[in-house]
């Protein structure tokens, strides 16, 4: 760097750093502000907004957040996992089969086993993606089928259940309905914060971004691309397991006939809304969490406005395209200007 350059930089430093900051974090801040705005708006739409409503949103949003986080980890590392919805059904069906009526300690041990199993299973999918060079869309559409089939084998009929203590962990009450949102808030914050720290501050986490933005460059600078891909899918598997536990905790019974495909679509939508670039290498869990909550939050808001769930789904789809088109336009203008 020459002396001339340094002086120029020093002169325009305040504006430039502000612009850089806005460019880097603008989307995250915007999404959080949108979420806050929606919550405030919602509280004026319904007659009473208290602990019950708040915990309903947080509890119901937990599965969406973890599913979106799972998708985000994979997409940041340059992949795509259409199987997450199926894996959610599989993990919640498995949990329903083994946790029914168990004391909390046993349920937690079960949960850890299922979580590790889910991570290994999806890690295998990641291995296939990385080694076979088959497009990730094809491999994970295949894993979606496989997971749904396995879920049906695990739990042929709607049934099973969760343990009371475990339900409290995710919903703040043993019945799944309550006014205490804090257990769910903790269950969301701790894993997400750990993962966000891992991805942003540790070499193994940062290698996800490296592989996602340019696999060859990452390989040449000594990153094990295959291992990184496997790790990204495995971490996604672990997140999906948490989403599965939350789904079971709220429903109280397992249901292996749930359409995993729709859940997957939600996760992709949340990731995109959260500012993660689908081609990989950029994005943050910190923005994906509010994006997933916003998507989940659409339904209560629209139903408060008197819109039925089917119409809500239509509006959601149109909004998604709209947001993407505008984001694309902004990106295009920025590139033209520079």
Partner 1 sequence: MSESPSTAPPVDATDEPRPAKPSIARQLSARPQIVLIAVLVGLIVVTAIIEPNYLSLAGLRNSAFFAVPIGVLAAGQTILMLTGGIDLSIAMIATASAYVAANQSPNGAVIAIAVGLLVGLAAGTANGIGVGVLRVNPLIMTIAMSGILLGLFTGWATTIFAGSTRMHDFIITLGRGTFFDGNVPWSVVVWIGVSILVLLLLRRTGYGRNLYAVGDNAIAARLSGMRSWQVLVVAYGISGLLGAVAGLLMGGRIGAVDLQLAGFLLLPSVAAAVIGGTSIFGGVGTYTGTILGALILGVVQSMLTFLGAGQAVQQVLYGTIVVGLSWMYMRLAAAQ
Strand, coil or helix: what is 159?
Answer: strand
Segment near partner 1 (CB under 8 A), from 114-122, 208-216, 225-233, 256-264? 256-264
318 counts as binding partner 1 under rule CB under 8 A: yes
Residues found in the chain = 338
Instruction: Find the binding residues for partner 1 in span 294-313 (CB under 8 A).
Output: 308, 310-313
Closer CB to partner 1, residue 246 or residue 264? 264
Residue 180 CB, shortest distance to partner 1, in Å, is 33
CA–CA–CA angle 222, 223, 229 (5° rounding): 160
Q: How far apart are CA 15 and CA 21, in angstroms?
A: 10
By the 10 Å C-beta count (0-12 exposed, 13-18 middle, 19+ buried), 182 is classed as exposed
User: Hunting for tokens 């991570």 — which residue is that?
Assistant: 119
280: left (phi over 0), alpha (psi -120 to 50) or beta: left
Q: Find the binder of partner 1 among 149, 157, 175, 330 (CB under 8 A).
A: 149
Q: Which of 139, 147, 21 is nearest to 93 (CA)?
A: 147
Q: Residue 83 and residue 69: Cα distance in Å, rounded? A: 14
Q: Which residues pair with 254 in a beta bridge?
A: 159
Instruction: Examine residue 194 and tell whether it contacts partner 1 (CB under 8 A).
Output: no
**How far apart (Å, rounded) are the C-alpha atoms in residues 330 and 125?**
35
Give yes or no for residue 158 binding partner 1 (CB under 8 A).
Answer: no
Whole-number minimum distance, CB 77 to partner 1, in Å?
A: 16
Contact 64, 295 (CB under 8 A): yes
Q: Report the residue number, 53 or 299, with the smaller CB distance to partner 1.
A: 299
| Of the residues 13, 46, 138, 186, which one makes contact with partner 1 according to CB under 8 A | 138
Site track for partner 1 across 275-294, x = CB under 8 A: ---x----------------
The residue among 56 and 313 lying less far from partner 1, judged by its C-beta, is 313
Total residues interacting with partner 1, rule: CB under 8 A: 46
Query: Is 26 or 135 the residue whose CB approaches partner 1 more closely?
Result: 135
Beta bridge partners of 159: 254
Positions touching partner 1 (CB under 8 A) are 80, 128, 132-135, 137-139, 141-146, 148-153, 156, 259, 261-262, 265, 268-269, 272, 278, 308, 310-314, 316-318, 320-321, 324-325, 328-329, 332
């Amino acid at each position: 760097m020459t002396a001339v350059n340094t002086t120029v930089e020093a002169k325009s430093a305040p504006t430039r750093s502000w612009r850089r900051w806005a460019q880097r974090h603008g989307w995250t801040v915007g999404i959080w502000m949108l979420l806050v705005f929606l919550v405030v708006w919602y509280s004026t739409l319904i007659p009473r907004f208290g602990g019950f409503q708040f915990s309903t949103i947080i509890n119901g949003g937990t599965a969406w957040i973890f599913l979106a986080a799972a998708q985000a980890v994979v997409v940041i590392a340059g992949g795509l996992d259409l199987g997450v919805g199926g894996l959610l059904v599989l993990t919640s069906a498995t949990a329903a089969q083994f946790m029914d009526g168990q004391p909390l300690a046993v349920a937690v041990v079960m949960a850890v086993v299922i979580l590790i199993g889910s991570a290994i299973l999806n890690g295998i999918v990641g291995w296939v993606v990385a080694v076979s060079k088959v497009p990730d869309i094809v491999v994970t559409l295949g894993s979606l089928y496989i997971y749904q089939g396995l879920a049906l084998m695990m739990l042929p009929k709607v049934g099973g259940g969760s343990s009371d203590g475990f339900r409290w962990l995710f919903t703040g009450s043993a019945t799944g309905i309550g006014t205490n949102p804090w257990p769910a808030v903790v269950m969301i914050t701790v894993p997400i914060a750990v993962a966000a720290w891992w991805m942003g501050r540790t070499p193994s986490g940062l290698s996800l971004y490296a592989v996602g933005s340019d696999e060859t460059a990452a390989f040449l600078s000594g990153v094990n691309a295959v291992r990184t891909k496997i790790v990204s899918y495995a971490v996604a598997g672990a997140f999906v397991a948490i989403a599965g536990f939350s789904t079971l905790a709220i429903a109280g019974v397992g249901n292996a006939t749930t359409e995993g495909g729709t859940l997957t679509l939600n996760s992709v939508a949340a990731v995109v809304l959260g500012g993660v670039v689908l081609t990989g290498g950029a994005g943050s869990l910190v923005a994906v969490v509010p994006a997933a909550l916003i998507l989940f939050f659409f339904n209560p808001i629209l139903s408060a406005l008197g819109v039925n769930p089917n119409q809500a789904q239509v509006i959601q789809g149109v909004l998604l395209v709209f947001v993407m088109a505008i984001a694309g336009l902004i990106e295009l203008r920025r590139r033209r200007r520079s």
